[in-house]
Structure formats: structure tokens, C-alpha cells
Structure 1
Amino acid sequence: METRQMVTKSKLITDLKQLGVTAGMKVFVHSSMKEIGWIPGGAQSIIEALQEVVTADGLIMMAAQSTDNSDPKNWSRPAVPEDWWETIRQEMPAYDPAKTPTRAIGKVPELFRTFPDVKRSAHPMWSVTAWGNEATAFVAGHTIENGFGPGSPLEKFIEADGQILHLGSPWDATTVWHYAEYGIDRPDEESGCKVNQAGQEVFITYRHRMIDSDPFGPIGEGLTDETFVTTGKVGQATSHLVSAKESIPVVMFQLNALNSWLS
């Protein structure tokens, strides 16, 4: 069995700086604790290290997706019996930025959403969180309709020259790249969610862009030599700092090429 390295918060701070993370930078963070190593303080130490390096003059964003606030007819992991669907729609709680937990995206983003001064966007399924300079402005206006696309917090982050920060996490976790899927020929699909409307909890249906992160893995592997990607170690984890603005056109081109090949 491999002996895992102990990675302290001080070590995280040093490694983040060596990777190129600086005070005042805007970062959208993905992380894998098991890849980084054994961390005294776990997720809390990772978040505090990021805050100390970026400082309140910068911005830290993370995914806060609650994909179980969706129509049970679309569930597959796990699926539920059809005769449960309507009961689930009626009984599931409405999205609440303060209460609704994240789903299946890890301990760090789940803890981050509860940290002091962290703001969370209003999208009931694809919300994001932010801490730091203008955090409230970055998460504002996240409607059901804009999802990961134009007008969303992701677009604001990209236009503000933010950096995608992977700390041992796989390329297919790159939330920001979903923005590229709005620039290609991709259909919308019907979904639903529970929301608060005029003080009442109601289940509504809506349409959103069909997304698929599977191609992000090979796309990311092909970007490691690009000038807008910096690679290094944070703890034991191979980590990447990627320009969101410069990577989006490349991702869009690759997704278009894949579409052409499949059609």
C-alpha cells in the first residue's frame, strides 16, 4: 500500500504560489483530496489555504450543483420507479441557497458553500458559489434559462479573465467548459426542479442545454502543452492553472469537430 504524503496548509500555500496562483487572482477551483495527500484539517485547510493565497482582493468560485433537484424521470444513478415520480415532485424541498446541499462534487465545494461570506447563485440545479471581491455580483442573475451559458456566472468569470484551477481533479470536472457547449450545435432537453415562487414551493418544468462533460477528458489532456496552461504539483496532486478565456475557443473547436465526426 502506498504511503501517502502529509500535506499541511503551509505546504498547500507554498505549492499554490509556485503553481502561479497570486493575490487578487480569480480562480474557479476543482479539487481531489485523495490526490493531494493526507491533509491535517482536510477540506477546511484547502479552502483556507486558497483564501490566504488569493486574498479577499481576488475571487474564489466553485461548483455547487444540486442535480438531485431535478425531474426524477431523468434520473439514472440511481433510477427510481415511475410510480414514485409524482410523489417525489410533490414532496422534495425547494431549492434554498442556504440549505440545499451539493451532490456528488466532493467535500471541498460542499464545505465551501457554508463558509462565511460565501455567496451562492440562484440556479436550482447548476448553482455556483463565490468568495472575495465582487462575489455577490458574480453569482447574481443566475436564472434557470441561462444555466452555464450567456449571462451566467460562468460567462462573467470568463470575461473577467479568470483562471481554472485543478488540484488533482480530472479534466472532465471542468465546469467552466460547459459554457463552450452553448456555442455549438447542441439540442436542449426538458427538465424540472422544485423552486419557491411567491412563497409557495412548486415543481416547474423548463428546458436547458444538453451537456456532456465526457469529451473534456481527452480535450484537457491535449491542452497540457499550451501556453495558457501551467502544470505543477500541489501536494502529491498533478495540478493545472488554465486561462478560462483562452481555453474556451479551443474547447469549442474540439467539440464542433467531435460533432462533425459523429454526424
Structure 2
Amino acid sequence: MKTPQKAISQLISQKEILEQLKEIGVSAGMILEVHASLSAFGYVCGGAQTVVNALIEAVGYSGTLLMALQCSDNTEPSAWENPPIERHLIKTVREQMPAFNKKETDTRAMGAVVENLRRRDGIVISHHPNCAYVAWGKYAKLLCNHQSLHFPLSEESPAARLYELKGSVLLMGVDYQRCTALHLAEYRSEIRPVILRGAAVELEGKRMWKKYLDLDIDSEIFNKVGKRLEEKGFVKKGKVGMADLKLFKADAAIDEAVRYFVKDHPYARYLQPSLF
């Protein structure tokens, strides 16, 4: 016999989401990188479709939405941790992993909101095999038209274009660790070592395993950067249902992160001229 589930006692509508977005400063024409957890809201009538509808209505057709579309299965298997893979299977993964496809490749742990945006008419997806972005709106092509295979979150990335265009970041029910734009600060501060990665790609109609260079990026420190942003008054806060909303300028956040990494992060000691 199934255990009866608790009845839904609160409902979040598109109108309520839109009102709260406007309350914290989301407006027409804004360029917005969004990271959202649908489950953090509580019950949303219409689910991810409602959240995306509210975001589109908030920024309007003169605005732009940008979301990370990371395909973590299509990565170097020897570096897998959650879960790891047995050594004898690594070669098989490199040989058999399907090439990245903008429409078909699965994402992992990116959430229902980005997947809903991915299905919308008129979206643009950058072509990186595991660090792609999806964008909708006026500047979608500009944000996603060129993302380099090597160092994919650096100066030839949608994050760098977001910085140049004075865009903003909106966190909906997630913390600062989910803020992909902050990875740009890791590249600019040069605190991370260079590593070799790999992914399955399609080149000239053929599937192949392609190696590329990147930094050993790590988002665990981003919450400390976020705390500093809040202390300095850079973050506007709100709430929809149970989900906390945080809105801030991308360029201010990235600049603050660079200052933190260079001056206060433990890796900073490796950057001191006296060590060379």
C-alpha cells in the first residue's frame, strides 16, 4: 500500500515569479546569465516552462538569457569522480562516447530550467563538447558564436562576452558555486594549473576523441567570493516560494573574484615574484 503524499498547500505562478524578478531589478533589455534549481522553489504551476516563461517576459525581446549547458559525461574518463570509472573501461569510453550534438547530447545535474530553454525556438547553443552554453534573445549569437575548444571558459567564451556587455547573473535557489561566469576570474588571475582534457567531437563528418588544454578549475571557493559581493552591497536579494534570488553584475563579480584569488586565496603565494 502506497503512503499518501502530503497535499500541495502553496503554489507559485508565473505572475509571482515575474513580480519578484522585477522587484530585485530584472528589467527589459537585460542580458542575464541564469542558474536555477526548480526543486528549490517548491511547487511551480507549470514547472520549468513557467520559470523560463517568466524570465523571457522579464527581459523581453530586447533582452537576452544565457545558461550553462555542461555535458559532464563527455569528458576525460580518467578524471571522473562522481562516480569514478574502473581503469580498464577508460579506453572504451574514449572510443565509444557519442560525439557532442547540440540537440541530442545529455546534460547531467544542470536542471530542468536550462533543458526547457534548450527546447525553445530561436535559441543558440555554443559548440563546446562539455562546456557549452545556450542563449535566447537579442545577443544570443554574439554570446555563443565562438567558444574555443582550448580553455573554453576564458576570453573566447560566453562568460567573457557577458562581461564585456555589462550583463548580470541571476541565481535562483542555488549558491555561488553554480555561477559559471566566475570561472573567468580563475583564468584571469592565473591561479590554476594547466591540464589536458578530452571529449568526443565530430570533425569533417567523423566522430573522434579530441584532446584539449584547460585549467584545473574549481568552483568550491566561489561562495567566499559571493560573501564578499554581499558585504560590499553588490547583490540584490529576493525570494520566490522557498527559493532565494540573488542578482548581481557579472563584471563586478568577476573583478572581485580576481582580486580575491590574487590577494587572499592560498594559491596566491605561488604568484609572488619572490618565488621566481
Q: Normalized against structure 2, the TM-score is what? A: 0.91
Choose the corresponding residue for 1:156, options 130, 149, 161.
161
Question: What is the rounded CA distance, in whole Å, between the counterparts of 2:128 and 2:159 in structure 1?
Answer: 12
Q: Distance in 2 between matches of 1:75 and 1:262?
A: 29
Q: Is the 8 A contact 1:215 1:255 kept in 2?
A: no
Q: 2:258 aligns with which of 249, 252, 260?
A: 252
Q: Deviation at 1:259?
A: 3.0
| 1:194-233 CA-partner distances (Å, limit 9, x unpaired) | 0001110000111111100000012212321333321112
Distance 1:143 1:261 in 2: 27
- Aligned pair in 2 of structure 1 residues 2, 244: CA closer, same or farther (>3 Å)? farther
2:49 corresponds to: 44
Query: What's the % identity of the aligned pairs?
Result: 31
Cα distance in 2 for partners of 1:181, 1:2 equals: 45
Residue-by-residue CA offset, 1:172-198 (whole Å, 9 max, x unaligned): 101000000001232111111000011
Match of 2:203 in 1: 197
- How far apart in 2 are the matches of 1:4 and 1:227? 35
Give 1:4 shift: 6.2
Matched letter for residue 118 of structure 1: I
Match of 2:22 among 3, 7, 17: 17
Residue 6 of structure 1 corresponds to 11
Shift in Å, 1:3: 7.4
Larger Rg: 2
Kindly provide the amino acid, as one letter, of the partner of residue 78 in structure 2: K
Give the paired residue count: 263
Deviation at 1:261, TM superposition (A): 6.3
Whole-angstrom CA distance in 2 between matches of 1:219 and 1:153:
21
**2:170 corresponds to which residue?**
165
CA distance in 2, matches of 1:114, 1:102: 13
Distance in 1, matches of 2:254 and 2:77, equals 32
1:220 pairs with 2:226: yes
Secondary structure of the corresponding residue to residue 176 of structure 1: helix
Equivalent residue runs for 1:24-39 within 5 Å: 24-39=29-44
Cα RMSD, aligned residues only:
1.7
CA deviations 1:9-58 (Å, max 9, x no partner) are: 11111111111100100000011222222101111100011001111110
Partner of 1:164, secondary structure, is strand
> Which one is further off, 216-225 or 143-152?
216-225
Q: How has the CA–CA distance of structure 1 residues 252 and 3 changed in structure 2, closer, same or farther, with 3 Å as cutoff?
A: farther
Q: Which stretches in structure 1 are left out of the alignment for 5+ residues?
A: none
Q: Distance in 1 between matches of 2:139 and 2:92?
A: 40
Aligned mates of 1:60, 1:187 — CA distance in 2: 31
Structure 2 portions without partners, runs of 5+ = 1-5, 271-276
- Contact 1:5–1:236 under 8 Å retained in 2: no
**Counterpart Cα distance in 2 of 1:4 and 1:226:** 37
CA contact (8 A) 2:62 2:137 kept: yes
Letter in 2 for 1:202: M
